[in-house]
Every structure is written in C-alpha cells, then in structure tokens.
Amino acid sequence: MSAESFDFPTKFSHVRPQDTAYAGEGLRDFFLYRDLGIAHATGGKVLAQLVKAHAAPEQGTGWHRHEAEFHIVIMLKGWARFMYGDKETLVATGDCVHQAPGIVHYLFDYSEDMEYLEIVGPADFRTLDATPPCDVPAVTPWVKETA
C-alpha cells in the first residue's frame, strides 16, 4: 500500500534554524519563542516551539494550569525550577517532563542559558490562573560578571 492511498490530516514540515527566528510574541514576555512549524503542519493539533530565557526571573509564571491534552518540556540547555502542586522540581539539561493535563504549576526560577523544547496539544491550548497550593521558594539572581 502506498502513502498516496492515505488521507493524511497533517503535512510534511522541515524547519531549519535559519527559517524561523526567536520572537517575544509568546505567552511570557521574559521568554523568547521560536516556532517550529508543527502547528501549521498538523492543522493545529500540536504546537512545538523552542523557549529560552530572555530576562532574569522576577515573579516567574505565576500559578497556572493549561487546558491541554498533552504537554511535555525537554530541557535542552541550562535548568529551570518548577513547582508542580506543592512539589519543587529541578528540570536540568536532558530532562523530560510530562505535565499531566490540568496540573497546577509555576515556573519560578531558571538559568540565564535556559532553553527547552515544548510540545503541546492542541496548539491553541488555554492557560488559566490557578489558586496557589503553597508558597514558592526564592529565585536565584543572575550575577553579571565584571571585567
């Protein structure tokens, strides 16, 4: 059976680093986002984007949850500290986190070089504020080296 005999609801996509740039048009103004073209290729079923630190953590993301069926974060560089419910979780380079649908969380601290791949379905997921289940630890200030 050939591939032509199937009605694929998605289409082929190949996005190279030079094809899309990081932009500040994402959910958080202290991060930069790079679209990987997957939302377009899947007709909105899945979002895949690179997210990296743009400014030092101050207040973080605040407590929130996502209306999504699937959500993973793969840390490519650096680290980030999350609260998942009342549990602090350090996500470091190479780690993969599956955020269960509706889990209340807070990304409150991250390294200056933090960069992660985020894959979410559907692409137009909603983010809703959530009631804090606990206090959040202090952030780690970025230290600028002097010459």
Which superfamily does 25-126 belong to? Jelly Rolls (2.60.120.10)
Q: For the whole model, what pTM was predicted?
A: 0.87
Nearest to 78 by CA among 52, 108, 107: 52
Q: Which pLDDT tens digit goes with each residue over 74-83?
A: 999 999 999 9
Q: What is the spatial distance between Cα 22 and Cα 7, in angstroms, rounded to a whole number? A: 33
Higher pLDDT, 133 or 27: 133
The domain spans of the chain are: 25-126
72, pLDDT greater than 90: yes
pLDDT value at position 25?
Answer: 79
